[in-house]
Amino acid sequence: MGSLKLIFLASISCKKPPAADIDSSFRGPAFSPPPDEIPSPKWYFDQFMDKSVFKHISHQSNLYAVMKNGPELKTTPSEIEQFIGLHILMTVVRRPSYRMYWQTATRYGPIATVMGRKQFDNMRTYIHMNDNTNVKQKGEPGYDPLFKVRPVLEKVRANCLKVEPEENHSIDEQMIPFKGKIGMKQYIKNKPHKWGIKVFTRAGVTGLVYDFEVYTGKGTVTNERGLGVAGEVVLRLVSEVPKGLNYKCFFDNWFTSPELIVELKKMGILTVATINRNRLRGCTLKSDKELSKAGRGAYEVKYEKTSGMSIMKWYDNKAVLLASSFIGPEPVERCRRWSKEKKEYVEVDRPHIVKVYNHNMGGVDLADMFAALYRIDIRPRRWYLRILYYLIDLALVNGWLLYRRHLTQKQEKKYMPLLDFRVQVADALIKVAAPPPPPLQRISAPSVDVRLDRCDHFPLHAEKRGRCRLCKNGYTQMACLKCKVLLCFTKDKNCFLEYHTTK
């Protein structure tokens, strides 16, 4: 990287754009067609946190309970699914303390009848994701600060990488809220949750997360390619992005250097990013005072001869520095900005690079916002449970966004809200392949996953005769014990069978 820096310093002073136009047209493939029938919410959740995860957690939790000389847990993958489903449901129907779901005065049946409080407490105590007998201590070869959660972390990350990427990606930091004692805890003053475990994330414009890396402190990344720790983080997060197809990447000034932008362009990944003035590598631009005299919307741009990179300084309320490997200020448009002096909106010139950056930079923040709406908020003292809860929320949000992508491909405008999506996933996790609940009057139909799981759907003679759930025209007194819906079963038609076998 040293020779590149010398060439860059020698050529940055060029004020005119390069003669050759930069071809930034996207050459990546279109998304694959969606399924003929839109699958259930749990299917989308399973794309990111599948049954192998629950099987692994079940095995490790049983092993950990034996190692700690605790009660024999004997948990199964289905019970782990129920346990996670209860956590998701608790984000919808909240209580100040999770034990209140079982207390007489505040009891909540859909949770209390599925799993007893003592069993729930035991599973919280002994839930585990890796074998402690293989752990390496700090200073030993192969030491991993994330050992306790590594298998599940890598499984969810691998599933995120399987999703077909969008054209535009942003890279930013996320925070997993946590204030307990742990060496990897970070403080970021501009985040809603200032204390926690930092995660570097690559997400699309829609908020769908494609890759992430948990920051464990000094040594998480090494400066192998001479681009600094921040530059190395970016290169690792884009390592799975198809090269040479003009995918676009957006990030802020903490990550940005001219050398990183040039390196990404060599890989066929184009960039727009804000940049610090101390990283301009000799590119001289007008001072803030000079631009402020010219008025809001004034700007200056310079180009690097070899790579065609542009560096622009734009004055709005204050000066903003941006760098790009494929775009400049043209065309300049007018936009509305609030004027404190005039107490009204005014028209301001906005270079195109600013518009493109603002439109595409917010993907990670959007993913954060979706997760924060119904975040799993039971506060454990063990940091690795916080990361597990983060992965569950990530799988839910990613599943919902993938579901919305499929609906968009089918040109359907109506979609299930995130809240309803979470409820249906929770319902499926709690009830799929689980014993039927006690006879209760059901108000709504079960989820598709529960209806088609072919487990414990027994016919029951209902107290009252009513309309069939499936055919709507027939009246019957036969009900399903598990689904709690009335279904015809006569000589001429078998709605009971069809309801439990056909989507």
Please write the tens of the pLDDT for every residue from 454-484. Answer: 888 999 888 888 889 888 788 998 999 888 8
Residue 14: what pLDDT? 44
Residue 19: what pLDDT? 37
Residue 15: what pLDDT? 46
Residue 169: what pLDDT? 97
DSSP assignment of 171-188, as one string?
A: EEEEEEE--SS-TTEEE-
- Residue 82's alpha-carbon distances to 105, 119, 383, 467, 497, in angstroms, are 24, 12, 22, 31, 26
Q: Which two tokens stand for residue 323?
A: 């760098």
CB 420 within 8 A of CB 373: no
User: Among candidates 401, 356, 291, 454, which has minimal Cα distance to 300?
Assistant: 291
Residue 18: what pLDDT? 54
Give the distance, in angstroms, between the CA of residue 50 and the centroid of all CA atoms in the same chain. 16
Map residue 160 onto helix, strand or coil: helix
Residue 296: what pLDDT? 87
Residue 395: what pLDDT? 97
User: Pairing relation of β-strands 299-303 and 310-315?
Assistant: antiparallel
Long-range contacts of residues 365-368, Cβ cutoff 8 Å, at least 24 apart: 365/172, 366/203, 366/205, 366/206, 366/207, 367/174, 367/201, 367/203, 367/207, 367/208, 367/209, 367/394, 367/397, 368/174, 368/192
Q: Which two tokens stand for residue 151?
A: 């298998």
Residue 312: what pLDDT? 92
Residue 11: what pLDDT? 41
Compute mean pLDDT per 10 residues along the chain, 503 residues long, and list them: 42 45 84 93 95 95 87 87 95 92 92 91 92 89 91 96 96 91 82 87 96 86 80 94 94 92 93 92 86 87 85 90 91 87 87 94 94 88 92 97 96 93 94 57 71 88 88 88 89 91 86
